[in-house]
Amino acid sequence: MTHLAPAPDALIGKRFDVAVAKMLGISRAKASDLVASGQAHVLGRDVAKSGILQAGDMVEFDLQEERHEPEPIADDMRVVYEDDDVVVVDKPVGVAAHASVGWTGPTVLGSLLDRGVHITSYGAPGRQGIVSRLDVGTSGLMLVCKSELAYKEMRRQFAEHEVVKTYHALVQGNLKEDRATIDAPIGRAKVSDFRFTVTPAGKEAVTHWDVMERFGEATLVSVNLETGRTHQIRVHFSSIGHPLVGDPMYGANPVMAAELGLERQWLHAVQLEFRHPRTHVWTTVTSTYPADLEHALEQLRAQHAE
């Protein structure tokens, strides 16, 4: 299966085998094998595995597909907006954005393809059409590109932070201010491959928040991201002593989560605003809370009213 992907800005200047490993989420040894066998190459010029990826390069992957069990399908994933260029889904919790090593559950991409939705071939194999992701444990709106025009333009809009992403989050404790900004770089935590942390060596990360509702032991906030780092909201609120309710990985109290019937972090992507890639019309898509998050809020309101 052949896929084309523009060289990501973050990988320009890197060795080709390192870039392929990052783009596909595989080991460098496996990436070297793909380059050596011609299954990964740069269009229009010969680049060895030690060659350097340049701005404007298009990487072509021609991967021999391995036979494996078909992935489960997220039948309950709602399509909130769709036209010839983009599709916006309301991703349920427990659904990954795309397939990855070790993940055996449903994915947004696989579930859309299973429904017969046409997705552009632009992007790394298995991640085609995807320009922004949500964590498996985070629900809400996620945009996938159907056309090449949309992929190029929406990738630019997300990279340049022109897309307005609004999340609602329930954080532990009573936030002192009604609104504030957290500006702190985020990088991988040394203690784990899966955790991230605030670190001077990290990448710039900016989170704006406004209080919507106070419960004393928890606070509901509306969050806008200027940047889109992995686990950004979870890491930033944990760093100021207010981890997301239901998020023990970043320091949340499991007792509170259990009392509220939560089995994941209380975080939902409620609104996406973007300029349509073809018509340039400013487009707003919204989502409502799923049942588990709504139930937790009702519990808190009832306790708070007593």
pLDDT, tens only, 267-288: 999 999 999 999 999 999 999 9
| pLDDT: which is higher, 71 or 115 | 115
Find the mean pLDDT for residues 126-137.
91
Query: What does pLDDT average to over the chain?
Result: 90
The CATH class of 165-269+291-305 is alpha beta
| pLDDT: which is higher, 135 or 294 | 294
Q: Which residue is catalytic, options 33, 62, 83, 135?
A: 135
Find the mean pLDDT for residues 180-202.
84
Q: Which CATH number fits domain 78-160: 3.30.2350.10, 3.40.50.720, 2.60.40.1230, 3.30.1360.120?
A: 3.30.2350.10
Query: Is the model's pLDDT at 66 over the cut of 60?
Result: no
Residue ranges, comma separated, of all CATH 3.30.2350.10 domains in the chain are: 78-160, 165-269+291-305
Centre a 10 Å sphere on the Cβ of residue 306 and count the other Cβ atoms it contains: 4
Residue ranges, comma separated, of all CATH 3.10.290.10 domains in the chain are: 2-62
pLDDT given for residue 188 in this prediction: 84
**DSSP H or E segment with residue 182:** strand 179-183
Q: Which CATH number fits domain 2-62: 2.120.10.10, 3.10.290.10, 3.20.170.30, 2.60.40.1180?
A: 3.10.290.10
Percent of the chain with pLDDT over 70: 95
Query: Is the model's pLDDT at 193 over the cut of 70?
Result: no
Could you tell me the pTM of the whole model? 0.78
Tens-place pLDDT, residues 1-18: 667 788 888 888 899 998
Sign of CA dihedral 249, 252, 257, 260: negative
Query: Is the model's pLDDT at 166 over the cut of 70?
Result: yes
pLDDT given for residue 227 in this prediction: 84
| pLDDT bucket at 126, cuts 50 / 70 / 90 | confident
Query: What distance in Å separates the CA atoms of residue 227 and residue 203, rounded to the nearest whole number?
Result: 9
Intra-chain end-to-end CA distance of the chain, in Å: 60
Label residue 293 exposed, middle or buried (CB < 10 Å: 0-12, 13-18, 19+): buried
Query: Is the model's pLDDT at 68 over the cut of 70?
Result: no
What backbone phi and psi angles, to 5 degrees, belong to 35?
-65, -45
Query: Is the model's pLDDT at 124 over the cut of 70?
Result: yes
pLDDT given for residue 69 in this prediction: 66
Active-site residue, 183 included: no
pLDDT given for residue 192 in this prediction: 59
CA-nearest of 61, 219, 74, 210 to 134 is 74
pLDDT given for residue 6 in this prediction: 85
Point out the least confidently predicted range of 36-40, 89-93, 206-210. 36-40
